[in-house]
Structure 1
Amino acid sequence: MTPADQPFDQPADQPADRPFDDPSDTSLWRPLHQLVAGVDADIAQVYADAAIEGVKPTWVRELLRLYREGPMTITELAEAIGRTHSALSQKVAAMKAAGLVRTTPGPDARTKRVDLTPAARRLAPRLAAEWRATEAALAELEAEIPYPVSKAVADVERALARKSFHERISERLREDPAWRGE
């Protein structure tokens, strides 16, 4: 059997009768991802309780920025919130499909301007209230725990400023024979 014929879950250098030790069974940060997903689900439930339909918690920052600043190109909006153009382009498409934003041609043929729909404009003050309530709830939660998540994030950011995550992964991969194809 050639390496290309091996099943995905069976590395080429491992006998077929030996189970594959899948490293994705463990993850130090999976609980963090699950925590954030749970918080987002709770915010979505707040929207459902208030009969606010079609809004995802991950869109609110962009919607509020458009409410405050007015129409922007996708590039301007991405820069305003610190995201990539690609990520914002996909998000704008989803928000447009949900009826929250509309796009019009920008100053040149390659750009689009994004603006809130009237429905999103009416909804924005409620979304701002939810944002304030969420931030207050997070502050309350952080006061209950011995090491606030916001402090942990700041500490991680400082450590990554000293040595990037890319560098940290690359160093380990250079040492791993499976990565080198051996």
Structure 2
Amino acid sequence: MTDEQPFEDPTGASLWRPLHLLTTTVDAEIAQVYAEASIEGVKPTWVQELLRLHLHGPMTITELAESVNRTHSALSQKVAAMRAAGLVRTTPGPDARTKRVALTAKARRLVGRLAAEWRATEAVLAELEAEIPYPVSRAVADAERALARKSFHDRLAERLKEDPAWRGE
């Protein structure tokens, strides 16, 4: 028995969980297309980075992260996974703290097919958006504008200030 007050499970409902599940489903179906085409060892979430490396040549992890609008930490983990899959190699960068990332021959053989998949995926997403009354891309742009007016952090902090459980009461 604990001194904690009982509460209802707050995870029973989630406004954006369906969006997460939708993107997870899309990635899984892209991965299925790869499997059907005998493209092994590639995750759909790596394609943007692989195509950037193909188009722009070797980059440091920082440069690659900036080019895809991700954090250095996130890209460092992704590069490690792509290296383990044999898609990229890393070499020391201009100083001891940096690594340069380059495609392997295996990845170079795949980039044309991956670019074709990217274009086809974008076309399918455009078709899908044409079928629904409020396109997801419009919802995202609207949410970005609202968050530019007031950040998610500030909104969340305000809500949490009002909650006695957050304050430890």
Cα RMSD for the two superposed structures: 1.0
Q: Separation in 1 of the partners of 2:77 and 2:4?
A: 39
Amino acid paired to 2:168: G
Q: Separation in 1 of the partners of 2:4 and 2:140?
A: 39
Aligned residues: percent identity?
79
Q: Does 1:103 align with 2:90?
A: yes
Amino acid paired to 2:148: A
More helix by share: 2
Q: Aligned residue for 1:149? A: 136
Name the SS for the 2:166 alignment partner. coil
TM-score, structure 1 length as denominator? 0.91
Q: Separation in 2 of the partners of 1:75 and 1:117?
A: 19
Q: Aligned residue for 2:24? A: 37
* 1:62-89 deviation digits (Å, cap 9, x = unpaired): 0000000000000000011111000000
The residue correspondences of 1:1-182 to structure 2 (distance < 5 A) are: 6=2, 12-14=3-5, 20-182=7-169
* 1:82-120 deviation digits (Å, cap 9, x = unpaired): 110000000000000000000000000000000000010
Greater relative contact order (CA < 8 Å, ≥ 6 in sequence)? 2
Structure 1 consecutive aligned stretches of length 4 or more whose deviation exceeds 6 Å: none
Aligned residue pairs, count? 169
Shift of residue 13, structure 1, vs aligned partner: 3.1
Name the SS for the 1:178 alignment partner. helix
Q: Separation in 1 of the partners of 2:42 and 2:65?
A: 19
Name the SS for the 2:78 alignment partner. helix
Q: Separation in 2 of the partners of 1:81 and 1:163?
A: 24
Say which one has the larger Rg: 1
Provide structure 2 residue ranges, at least 5 long, that are not aligned to the other structure.
none
Name the SS for the 1:107 alignment partner. coil
Provide structure 1 residue ranges, at least 5 long, that are not aligned to the other structure.
7-11
Q: Separation in 2 of the partners of 1:94 and 1:78?
A: 15
TM-score, structure 2 length as denominator? 0.98
Q: Separation in 2 of the partners of 1:119 and 1:99?
A: 7
Q: Separation in 2 of the partners of 1:163 and 1:65?
A: 32
